[in-house]
Chain A
Amino acid sequence: MNTRALPLYVTVGIFLLAYLVFWLQFPNILSTRVIGNLLTDNAYLGIVAVGMTLVILGGGIDLSVGSVIAFSGVFIAVLLRDAGLHPLAVFALLLLLTTAFGAGMGFLIDRLAMPAFIVTLAGMFLARGAAYILSIDSVPIQHPFYDTLQGAYWLMPGKGRLTLIGVAMVLIVVLGMIVAHKTRFGASVYALGGGEAAARLMGVRQGRTTVMVYAFSGAMAGLAGIVFSIYTGSGYSLATVGTELTAIAAVVIGGTLLTGGAGYMFGTFVGVLTMGLIQTYIVFDGSLSSWWTKIVVGILLLAFILLQKGLLKLSRMRLARGAA
């Protein structure tokens, strides 16, 4: 068996096991209502994590996405309030803006040969600051089109609601899977994450790929911002603080190697659901503090990092034995 896919199997295994354990305690957790809510509540996180997965696969990191989501919400709310544009026009404008923002960061990372950490950290402050400039207060979104978006859902058997934003997340995950695993761009991203020198020798256009990776992440952050604004019905510059770290956690729990070059888009989806599931369990239990989510996520993260280290060592040992 390929050791590369093992973290993915572990991720899926942990998710199913957790679900089983929770189901034994609360049989209702398997209802379509819970499943529908799981998708809806984590829609924005899932979308932004798709972008983050591609960035991490390419050996980078994007710390700006949490701020970009907050900025998007405020941008939408203020524009709808003041400019009188249709939401779809605002969405298009926003996606253009966040994609260009990501592309700009990618350009700097490549051209200045700067660590992605620093450049996107600057981007994080920049986007958050821009959100504050637009508005310090929470701005409610009132528009008939938004009411339509928020009210759009498909009633599953068992009265669970499959909302528009939940479906959007699933579609974005599928898109992410296609981009990462089925295109030459995706192959280039894996190549860069595996080793820049070898990737260049093999003909990867490093600059172009880097710019496109961060542009993709920027677009995903903008889309997550739209979804988040639909979810909350407002824009607030203090929202989604630290979401970039939650997204990174979801990616790693999803089995992607933090140093890049190995991982699966589907794993990130399962990672997001696993984190959502823990939260749901805490809500079901009722007596646990919600901070337990963080503790469990922390433990899971640690376990996955150890697992990856262990696998790396195992494959090296096997290789050494094979060569001898």
Chain B
Amino acid sequence: MSTTRSAAEATNGAPLLDVRDVTKRFGGLVAVDSVSFSVDAGHIKAIIGPNGAGKSTLFNLISGFYPLTSGSMSFDGEEIAGLPMHAIARRGVARTFQTTSLFSHLTVLDNAMMGYRMHTKSALFDVLLRTPRTRREERESRERAFEALRFAGIEPFADRVAGSIPQEAQKRLAIAVAVASDPRLVLLDEPVAGVTSEETDAHAELIRTMARRGHTICLVEHKMNLVMGLADSIVVLHHGRKIAEGTPAQVSADPAVIEAYLGAASHA
């Protein structure tokens, strides 16, 4: 596929995303406390932890949705901390949201076209004068959008209003919107929350395919079986701190991780 790229050549061996001592305070609450980790190009990184561990907040920091309190983040060797969300997105960081977030009144196709919008330059005057550029970009957006919908397996829904398609298809659409932008890094915030177990397997396969296409993946997920089978490495957060990092096998044997999870389970 045209979007597949060699992970090593893209970053010269340095990590694609490097998060250093990132902290986020909300008033007196330290939601993310001096967390450092890195994501290598072409890998699937999972971030796990009990509820309230700061996983989603960490995603919101990386994508620029919240400003950092302190710390630094570099993407492809460039500092991205402090950039507005759209600027980070344009550098190649796509994300999905925990509660499936779509343009719910737009069609499925238009949703995917919005995913590709950052690669088009059509401004108001192009549109009013119907310049060749805007015609070309519209055609191109449509093609890329259809490609993303096919990839996510929801092409038959193209003409439907996004809010009216089944839940599981909506989750796939959120992924299609992210993929349509041809991102280097995709942040997936609980991609299979509320999805049945058969559908979870299908989603896992979709995520694997994304990685094979050259999208580096970083995901937050609660379903341990999905994470264990999917991730190359795992970061474990607890109360905003990183308590472990390693391969799925290493992490699941880590006493601190077991303690955090059992502790959390007994409160649940």
Q: Do A and B bind each other?
A: no
Residues of A within 8 A of B (CB): none
Residues of B within 8 A of A (CB): none
